[in-house]
Amino acid sequence: MKSPVPPNSPSTPDYDLETWRKRIPIIASGGLIPMNNCSQAPQTDVTRAAAERYLDSWNRDGMDWDEWISEVGLAKREFATLINAAPEDIAVFSSVSEATSAVASALNFNGPRNRVVVSEAEFPTVGHIWLAQESRGASIVWARVTEGEIEPVAYLEGIDERTAIVSACHGYYLNGYVQDIEAIAARAHSHGALLFADAYQTLGAIPVDVQALGVDFLASGNLKFLMGIPGIAFLYVKREVAQRLHPTVTGWFGRADPLAFEVKQLDWSATASRFDSGTPPVMNAYVARAGMEILNGIGVTKIRAWHEVLAQQLIDGGRERGLTLHGTNDATRKTVSTAFAVDDSHGIENKMRARGIIASARGAVIRLAPHFYSTLEDCDRALDSLAEAVRSA
């Protein structure tokens, strides 16, 4: 079934989509349609070449730590560019879980400010990490999700003079709903609390400016809309905040001079790298930089404009096919990731894959998450396959 393009929407993006499709082997070979960017982006020629660059260096030189560590610095720089921060404000981890744990480890929950306000829209790992702080004196207060959406008002009751930090994802992993982080950060700050944002589901899909959002921390991995791979994540820490925190999840890369080799001296890097810990994920940094260069090169604002067209196509096309949308039907309040309620989401994901569509099952929904390279036809084919899988279930 072919859905009409929404009125006043461009029918093509403001960049060369066809060339990009040729650079994504899984599409170019005519094999599969990747609609799973909320879970894992497809490989491109440049991300593959980046991985090979590391393998070649390792093979050729045996070891080149100067080059490898400088590549990690370049990946931090690329991430900083994406979020309008300075490279010195970025720390590197192997997962968002690790980054969140490092942030939690820097906070003291023994005094009167022991509250952590956590949204129910957090990816479970983030909720788990805050719950684990209860044994350190933290008291968790939940901000409620209602019908797949969460408004700043959900935080009002929780945030007060007892609040140490507010943990709010930018995009809801289940259905792409985008929270008003700026309003939530302002509320947190007006009560002297910090704001931690998990932007894993929005970076590369929505323009993010940490200065404008006013966040204290912002974390993301690289394998979703950032076109990278598992095993690397980045954390932005606002300069003044970093300078007064001492994470107990730490290591030699968090020192003022990691090469000082002073085993009895715990000094702190003057920048966000005090949140770094051990040897960074070097090979992943090569791939991560290459992936983020794609996004920075095209421009996330242009990508977002096309995403809104794709999201509208998925919302309207889902309705026409009798599918049940999860969350808002307003494409401007969500990422391109669009979720439909289904029984047996994993069974449906498998059926769709057998028909050439890679979708992403999560709990009771199937998520369709196209990206900058996707066409309206991809969306229609994915919806047809989903509707067929639901009918035959």
Ligand X SMILES: Cc1ncc(COP(=O)(O)O)c(C=O)c1O
Question: Which residues of this protein are in contact with ligand X, per CB under 6 A?
Answer: 95-97, 123, 125, 169, 173, 198, 200-201, 221, 233
Least spacing, CB of residue 99 vs ligand X, in Å? 8
Least spacing, CB of residue 235 vs ligand X, in Å? 11
The residue (of 56 and 120) whose beta carbon lies closer to ligand X is: 120
Q: How far apart are CA 320 and CA 118, in angstroms?
A: 36
The residue (of 233 and 383) whose beta carbon lies closer to ligand X is: 233
Q: Which residue, 221, 240, 241, 239, is CA-closest to 231?
A: 221
Q: How far apart are CA 196 and CA 214, in angstroms?
A: 10
Least spacing, CB of residue 93 vs ligand X, in Å? 8
The residue (of 98 and 316) whose beta carbon lies closer to ligand X is: 98
Least spacing, CB of residue 387 vs ligand X, in Å? 26
Least spacing, CB of residue 203 vs ligand X, in Å? 10
Least spacing, CB of residue 291 vs ligand X, in Å? 15
The residue (of 113 and 362) whose beta carbon lies closer to ligand X is: 362
User: Inter-axis angle of helices 65-83 and 45-61, to 10 degrees?
Assistant: 160
The residue (of 102 and 387) whose beta carbon lies closer to ligand X is: 102
Least spacing, CB of residue 271 vs ligand X, in Å? 23
The residue (of 85 and 203) whose beta carbon lies closer to ligand X is: 203
3 state SS for the chain: CCCCCCCCCCCCCCCCHHHHHHCCHHHHCCCCEECECCCCCCCCHHHHHHHHHHHHHHHHHCCCHHHHHHHHHHHHHHHHHHHCCCHHHEEEECCHHHHHHHHHHCCCCCCCCCEEEEECCCCHHHHHHHHHHHHHCCEEEEECCECCECCHHHHCCCCCCCEEEEEEECECCCCCEECCHHHHHHHHHHCCCEEEEECCCCCCCCCCCHHHHCCCEEEEECCCCCCCCCCCEEEEECHHHHHCCCCCCCCHHHCCCCCCCCCCCCCCCCCHHHHCCCCCCHHHHHHHHHHHHHHHHHCHHHHHHHHHHHHHHHHHHHHHCCCEEECCCCHHHECCCEEEECCCHHHHHHHHHHCCEECEEECCEEEEECCCCCCHHHHHHHHHHHHHHHHCC
The residue (of 126 and 390) whose beta carbon lies closer to ligand X is: 126
Q: How far apart are CA 188 and CA 151, in angstroms?
A: 14
The residue (of 208 and 390) whose beta carbon lies closer to ligand X is: 208
User: For residue 368, how many other CB atoms are within 10 A of its CB?
Assistant: 34
The residue (of 2 and 346) whose beta carbon lies closer to ligand X is: 346
Least spacing, CB of residue 231 vs ligand X, in Å? 9
Least spacing, CB of residue 201 vs ligand X, in Å? 5
Least spacing, CB of residue 64 vs ligand X, in Å? 27
The residue (of 300 and 309) whose beta carbon lies closer to ligand X is: 300
